[in-house]
């Protein structure tokens, strides 16, 4: 297989129809990307993901994951930075083998881990899984290396809000009041002057895969950058929907001790920021034609409730 960065094919931009791709053109695109005009490409299946379109594809009897960037992602994802951070994760042994990445289009082809399964909330709540996920976060956060970019949380919030307005999105009831609270909490967080480390930023269950040897990989580094490591811990607890007692166990595995009061406050703070951020992301994406049901509204309402909890504490 050929790995590299090449000029994106014009046909890439003509593939999209509705929520899926024209499969014949997708096959042509894969052949062109890998420079394998006679490859046998078959068994194309859609697989998980909210930001992008992902396909499980068999190429000459070997399985690969093909990532097609989702609606509007070119407006907030730097593909050069993403590729750097993918290579960073691969060097740590926690990201599957990258076979192709196009900086212009964001087309990505990764070798599928044999017999791998995607993490589910049910699996994520098991103690052995929490230990492995905590170990991955320690590997990333304690790597003693720096990513070249920073995750600019508050700039992203502003950007998503502006993009949502431009897309004609209908904002949630009470948005202005919650936004004022977020601005206040932003100042609180900034004053903490937290030491930042490499972070994944989007550790949803769908971004963890487990091999048949019980090795866990963390994929999709689109949003990654230097930031407060408590963001990743809080994000996984939210996305995995683990209970309060399970979260305490998971956090204990990460720290190898009980979390301090300050660390717990930072985790709650980041849960608020995450729900607010991704509710804005949902408004923008739905303004571009996607449909996520009550996902954005539910995250917005949870942010509002946790703001009350944080202020009481």
CATH number at 278 reads 3.90.1200.10
For the segment 28-38, the average pLDDT, to the nearest whole number, is 85
The answer to whether residue 70 sits within a structural domain is: yes
The answer to whether residue 306 sits within a structural domain is: yes
Residue 44 has pLDDT above 80, yes or no: yes
Same domain, 148 and 61: no
Q: What CATH number does the domain containing 43 carry?
A: 3.30.200.20
Same domain, 178 and 297: yes
Confidence band of 14 (pLDDT split at 50, 70, 90) = very low
Q: Which helix (H) or strand (E) holds 81?
A: helix 79-91
Higher local confidence (pLDDT), 96 or 311 = 311
Positive or negative: CA dihedral 139, 50, 22, 16: negative
Residue 19 has pLDDT above 80, yes or no: no
Same domain, 124 and 99: no
Final residue of a structural domain among 92, 111, 130: 111
**CA-based radius of gyration for the chain:** 20
pLDDT at residue 48, rounded to an integer: 67
pLDDT at residue 4, rounded to an integer: 36
Tell me the residue range of the domain where 247 lies.
117-312
Final residue of a structural domain among 81, 111, 141: 111
Same domain, 87 and 158: no
The answer to whether residue 39 sits within a structural domain is: yes
Same domain, 287 and 191: yes
Same domain, 285 and 244: yes
pLDDT at residue 18, rounded to an integer: 38
Highest mean pLDDT among 44-48, 131-135, 218-222: 131-135
For the segment 7-26, the average pLDDT, to the nearest whole number, is 49
Residue 188's SS3 state is helix
**CA–CA gap between residue 220 and residue 301 (Å, rounded):** 27
For the segment 271-299, the average pLDDT, to the nearest whole number, is 94
Structural domains counted in the chain: 2
CB atoms within 10 A of CB 251: 22
For the segment 242-252, the average pLDDT, to the nearest whole number, is 97
pLDDT at residue 43, rounded to an integer: 84
Same domain, 47 and 178: no
Q: Which helix (H) or strand (E) holds 253?
A: helix 244-255
Residue 6 has pLDDT above 70, yes or no: no
For the segment 102-118, the average pLDDT, to the nearest whole number, is 85
The answer to whether residue 3 sits within a structural domain is: no
Same domain, 93 and 157: no
For the segment 157-173, the average pLDDT, to the nearest whole number, is 95
The answer to whether residue 191 sits within a structural domain is: yes
The answer to whether residue 2 sits within a structural domain is: no
The answer to whether residue 5 sits within a structural domain is: no
Same domain, 171 and 243: yes
Mean pLDDT of the chain: 88
pLDDT at residue 59, rounded to an integer: 87
Same domain, 121 and 107: no
Same domain, 63 and 153: no
Residue 141 has pLDDT above 90, yes or no: yes
Q: Tell how strand 16-17 and strand 20-21 pair up.
A: antiparallel
What confidence tens digit (pLDDT) does each residue in 56-101 have? 889 898 888 888 887 777 777 889 999 999 999 999 999 988 888 8
For the segment 171-198, the average pLDDT, to the nearest whole number, is 97
pLDDT at residue 21, rounded to an integer: 58
The answer to whether residue 175 sits within a structural domain is: yes
Dihedral angle computed from the Cα positions of residues 87, 149, 195 and 132, in that order, rounded to the nearest 10 degrees: -30
Same domain, 126 and 223: yes
Final residue of a structural domain among 53, 86, 111: 111
């Amino acid at each position: 297989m050929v790995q590299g960065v090449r000029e994106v094919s014009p046909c890439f931009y003509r593939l999209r129809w509705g929520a899926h791709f024209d499969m014949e053109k997708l096959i042509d695109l894969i052949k062109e990307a890998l420079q394998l005009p006679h490859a046998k490409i078959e068994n194309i299946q859609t697989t998980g993901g909210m930001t992008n379109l992902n396909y499980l594809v068999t190429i000459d009897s070997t399985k690969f994951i093909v990532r097609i960037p989702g609606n509007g992602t070119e407006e907030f994802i730097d593909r050069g930075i993403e590729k750097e951070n993918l290579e960073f994760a691969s060097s740590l042994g926690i990201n599957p083998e990258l076979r192709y990445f196009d900086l212009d289009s964001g087309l990505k082809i990764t070798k599928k881990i044999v017999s791998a399964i995607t993490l589910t909330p049910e699996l994520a709540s098991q103690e052995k899984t929490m230990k492995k996920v905590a170990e991955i976060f320690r590997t990333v956060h304690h790597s003693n290396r720096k990513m070249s970019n920073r995750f600019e949380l508050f700039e992203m919030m502003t950007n998503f809000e502006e993009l949502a307005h431009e897309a004609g999105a209908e904002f949630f009831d009470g948005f202005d009041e919650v936004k004022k609270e977020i601005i206040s909490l932003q100042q609180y967080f900034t004053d903490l002057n937290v030491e930042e480390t490499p972070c994944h930023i989007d550790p949803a269950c769908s971004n963890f895969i487990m091999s048949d040897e019980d090795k866990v990989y963390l994929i999709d580094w689109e949003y990654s950058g230097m930031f407060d490591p408590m963001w990743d811990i809080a994000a996984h607890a939210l996305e995995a929907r683990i209970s309060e007692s399970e979260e305490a166990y998971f956090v204990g595995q990460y720290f190898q001790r009980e979390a301090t009061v300050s660390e717990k406050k930072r985790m709650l703070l980041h849960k608020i920021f995450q729900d607010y951020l991704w509710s804005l992301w949902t408004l923008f994406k739905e303004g571009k034609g996607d449909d996520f049901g009550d996902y954005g509204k539910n995250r917005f309402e949870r942010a509002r409730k946790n703001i009350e909890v944080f202020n009481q504490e």
